[in-house]
Structures are given as structure tokens and as C-alpha cells.
């Protein structure tokens, strides 16, 4: 479905964020992308739909190499990729329904998008999606009247309104409390399974990733250093991904960690105990 080959990104500053990353994601597979801050997770997600321009390599979605197509074709191909963002990226003054319908903008002619007149089948589908994400009662509310979890549900429905073939999810739970984070991850992964929709989810929270995804890809300094089943994450593999300094269960307490508090893995806000619990 998605085949990334030798993808490299060097920013204008000279920072190489990705080095020859090769990754295949088959239909229906949900991949959790983990790694320390600066490892290149966002860059990888954003290169796939060319929000960031790759420096070299191929990004094959079905038969199309997204890395090389021109801007006109890119606009068409982007319809095939749904995107869910950490900060939801909703239009705050529009209603929930209008935000979901905005997922159809790539499909409607310009004059229709300008007047926001959508075909009845788009509206019907938007209602179905709102029902699926549990927001039917909120359809006419303005986006700025919703909670964080509800906003992310709108973001999910909007991405699905596109009828994408691939879902790219960038830190979907970073602004949410733990319970809402689990609900959002459950919703995204259930829908992916229902629709056999492949997804790449950039996620800081390792136990949450382990709980919900089928495969974990670990990035370190722009390279894939782990690619396996979530159960294969252990002290050694976490050290490979996050580095010795960030992942060391025996490191000395610097006084900033309260007694009995879990020790952090990188900046993942997670702990050895919770990782082990999640793996069970």
C-alpha cells in the first residue's frame, strides 16, 4: 500500500532529519511511530503528504510516487491521505458539521467549495461519521464550544470524510488527558480496523502505542532502529530507540522525581512499570 524507500530529508539549515528511511505499510496495518524528540517522526509523517519536501527517496502510495509528482497532481493525490493533527486544526468559528464537510473540499468544484454547497451524499456521509465518532448531538455546535476530546473526534471525522486510503496521525493525544487519550486511540484504531485503513501514528506515549497498535517503528536520529511487534519492546530495544541517558532504569534520581513516581523514558512521559504492564 505505502512503500517508502531511502527517504532522506535535509532541511535548509543543514539538519538531516531523515536518513535513507525505508518502510512498507501494508493495507490495514496500524503503525506506531516512536522515538525521542528530534528523531524525525513529524518530518517522516509530513514528507509522506509533502507538507515537508523530501530531499531524496521514493514514497509510493499504490502506483504513484508522491515524492516526484508536480503540485497539481499532488493536490489530487492528497485526497487519498487523511491527516489528524495534535492541535486538531479545526476552523473554530465553523460548526462541527461544516468542519467535517471541509474534508470533502478536495473533491468539490471550486465554486461549490466557495459557497460551501456540498452534494447530499457528502452531507449524509458526514452525519454517519459524526454518529460513528459519537458527536451527532453536537453537529450544529461551533467547534470552539467543544472539549479537546470532542475536537479531536471532529478531526477524525473530517479526515474520514475524505474517504482516504491512508491515515497519517501526528501526536493525536498530546493535548489530552490520559482517559481521553485512550478513548481517542481506541476510536482511531477501531475505525482503521473496520475500514482496513492503514495508519501511521506519531505518538509519544509508548504504553498507549503498545496498547493499540500492531507494529512499532522506532526512530533515532533520523534512522529506523526498531521495527517489530509492540511486545518486542524491552529495556534493550528502548535504549536503542531513546538512548542510554533517556532510558536507564537504574539512573540516579536527580531529586526531581517524587518517591514511587515512574521513571521517564525519553520525553515519552512513561515508565518501565507501565511499559511492562502494557505489554502484559
Ligand X SMILES: Nc1ncnc2c1ncn2[C@@H]1O[C@H](COP(=O)(O)OP(=O)(O)OP(=O)(O)O)[C@@H](O)[C@H]1O
Residues engaged in binding ligand X (CB under 6 A): 11, 13, 15, 17, 35, 37-43
**Which residue matches cell numbers 515519552?**
268
User: In the bound complex, what is the minimum distance in angstroms from residue 245's beta carbon to ligand X?
Assistant: 16
Give the residue with the Cβ less far from ligand X, 125 or 220: 220
Give the residue with the Cβ less far from ligand X, 11 or 68: 11
User: In the bound complex, what is the minimum distance in angstroms from residue 237's beta carbon to ligand X?
Assistant: 17
User: In the bound complex, what is the minimum distance in angstroms from residue 253's beta carbon to ligand X?
Assistant: 25
**Which cell numbers hold the place of 20?**
535513507
Phi, psi torsion values for 238, nearest 5 degrees = -65, -35
**Which cell numbers hold the place of 35?**
522515538
Give the residue with the Cβ less far from ligand X, 37 or 68: 37
Helices assigned H by DSSP within the chain: 41-48, 71-77, 96-101, 110-115, 120-132, 148-161, 178-195, 206-212, 235-242, 272-279
Give the residue with the Cβ less far from ligand X, 15 or 27: 15
User: In the bound complex, what is the minimum distance in angstroms from residue 50's beta carbon to ligand X?
Assistant: 14
Phi, psi torsion values for 225, nearest 5 degrees = -115, -5
Give yes or no for a contact between 117 and 92, defined as CB atoms under 8 angstroms apart.
no
User: Which residues neighbour 88 within 8 Å (Cβ) at sequence distance 6 or greater?
Assistant: 148, 151, 152, 154, 155
User: In the bound complex, what is the minimum distance in angstroms from residue 42's beta carbon to ligand X?
Assistant: 3
Give the residue with the Cβ less far from ligand X, 17 or 61: 17
Amino acid at each position: 500500500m505505502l512503500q517508502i524507500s531511502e527517504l532522506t530529508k535535509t532541511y535548509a539549515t543543514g539538519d538531516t532529519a531523515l536518513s535513507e528511511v525505508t518502510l512498507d505499510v501494508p493495507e490495514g496495518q496500524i503503525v506506531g511511530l516512536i522515538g525521542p524528540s528530534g528523531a524525525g517522526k513529524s518530518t517522516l509523517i509530513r514528507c509522506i503528504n509533502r507538507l515537508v519536501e523530501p530531499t531524496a527517496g521514493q514514497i509510493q502510495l499504490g502506483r504513484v510516487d508522491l515524492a516526484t509528482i508536480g503540485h497539481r497532481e499532488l493536490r489530487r493525490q492528497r485526497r487519498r491521505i487523511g491527516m489528524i493533527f495534535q492541535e486538531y486544526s479545526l476552523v473554530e468559528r465553523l460548526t462541527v458539521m461544516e468542519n467535517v464537510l471541509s474534508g470533502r473540499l478536495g473533491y468539490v468544484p471550486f465554486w461549490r467549495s466557495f459557497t460551501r454547497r456540498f452534494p447530499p451524499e457528502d452531507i449524509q456521509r458526514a452525519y454517519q461519521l459524526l454518529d460513528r465518532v459519537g458527536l451527532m448531538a453536537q453537529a450544529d455546535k461551533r467547534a470552539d464550544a467543544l472539549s479537546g476530546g470532542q475536537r479531536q473526534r471532529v478531526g477524525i471525522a473530517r479526515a474520514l470524510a475524505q474517504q482516504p486510503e491512508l491515515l497519517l496521525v501526528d501526536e493525536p493525544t498530546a493535548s489530552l488527558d490520559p482517559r481521553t487519550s485512550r478513548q481517542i486511540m481506541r476510536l482511531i484504531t477501531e475505525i482503521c480496523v473496520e475500514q482496513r485503513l492503514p495508519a501511521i501514528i506519531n505518538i509519544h506515549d509508548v504504553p498507549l502505542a503498545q496498547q493499540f497498535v500492531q507494529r512499532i517503528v522506532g526512530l533515532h536520529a533520523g534512522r529506523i532502529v526498531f521495527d517489530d511487534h509492540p511486545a518486542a519492546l524491552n529495556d534493550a530495544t528502548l535504549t536503542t530507540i531513546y538512548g542510554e541517558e533517556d532510558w536507564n532504569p537504574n539512573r540516579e534520581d536527580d531529586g526531581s522525581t517524587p518517591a514511587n513516581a515512574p521513571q521517564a523514558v525519553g520525553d515519552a512521559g512513561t515508565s518501565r512499570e507501565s511499559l511492562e504492564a502494557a505489554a502484559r
